[in-house]
Structure 1
Amino acid sequence: MDIVIRASVMFAILFGLLRLMGKRELGQMTPFELVMLVVLGDLIQQGITHNDFSLTGATLAIATFAFWASVLGWVSYRWPRAERAIEGEPRVLIRDGALIEANMKRDRLTRRELESEMRLAGIAHVRDVAWAILEPEGRISFIRRGDGEPAKAEDARPA
């Protein structure tokens, strides 16, 4: 039972830390951050299992993490308010070719990083973007000006 309690506490701490890190940091990791994540996993394991290297202890720790992940998934599915708190909300970074500086500051995103993502999406200038949205998982979605036209009825007909 001790392992389950420690695993639950570590799950809550890890969840809180990941939410504090922000969306963007999770979306793009440097090699150093990836190594730190692996080391963090080892430190968490040591904190949960102490000196228990048994298969039962590891199974209990993994099952506890899976249980809490499932609970959070179910809660976010069942209650939309909880979903926004657990998973976060998309945030608009560019609207009609204009940067929204306050939202970029909120997620610690620089213009250079945004422009880099734009180039990867094949967009050369901020003025060419109707919408840029930072998704809850850290990706940036771009909608070009003119791409957001409503679909016509003839487009929906089968060929």
Structure 2
Amino acid sequence: MDMVLRAVAIYLILMVVFKIAGRRALLQMTSFDLILLLIISEATQQALLGDDFSVTGAMLTIVTLIVVDMLFGLIKKYLPGADDFLDNTPVILVENGYLFQDKMKKADISCDDILLTARVDHGLTRLAEIKFAILERNGHISIIPDSR
């Protein structure tokens, strides 16, 4: 039972941490982010398993994490507003070349982030060429080019 409680606690803590970190953390990984992710995974592994390094303990932990994830999926499906709270909603950052500075600041997204995505995905180099730039739930920026 201890392993199940550990798994649920770690799942919830990581969910809160990544919620606080925001979608910006998911946008692009730097070498520092990769190192941090490796350290977090090692610390999480130790916290999940404790002194039990058995295959049974690992399987119980994995099953618990999957069940908790499935429960959150059901909560998001059947509880109105839970999806927006847990995963956020898409945010329009640019409309017809106009930057929404307040939304960008809140999401910790810079104009350079938007232009980088526009260049890589569509070959666009100016804000005026962007009809919409949308920060998606997964942290990626979707660009809809202006058709003029």
**TM-score tier (shorter):** over 0.9
Matching residue of 1:71? 71
Cα displacement (A) at 1:31:
2.1
Aligned CA-pair RMSD: 1.3
Higher alpha-carbon Rg? 1
Cα displacement (A) at 1:78:
2.2
Matching residue of 2:36? 36
State whether residues 97 and 132 of structure 2, in contact with CA within 8 Å, keep that contact through their aligned partners in structure 1: yes
**Would you say how many aligned residue pairs link Structure 1 and Structure 2?**
147
Whether 2:21 is the aligned partner of 1:47: answer no
TM-score, L = length of structure 2: 0.93
Separation in structure 2 between the aligned mates of residue 7 and residue 83 of structure 1, nearest angstrom: 22
Matching residue of 2:138? 137
State whether residues 114 and 133 of structure 2, in contact with CA within 8 Å, keep that contact through their aligned partners in structure 1: no
Cα displacement (A) at 1:72:
1.0
Q: Deviations over 1:49-99 (max 9, x none)?
A: 111001111111111111111111122122341111111110011011100
Separation in structure 2 between the aligned mates of residue 19 and residue 131 of structure 1, nearest angstrom: 25
User: Which structure 2 residues correspond to residues 92-131 of structure 1 after superposition, within 5 A?
Assistant: 92-121=92-121, 122-131=123-132
Structure 1, unpaired ranges of 5+ = 148-159
Matching residue of 1:155? none
Matching residue of 1:3? 3
TM-score, L = length of structure 1: 0.87
Paired amino acid for 1:116? L
More off after superposition, 8-17 vs 108-117:
108-117
Structure 2, unpaired ranges of 5+ = none
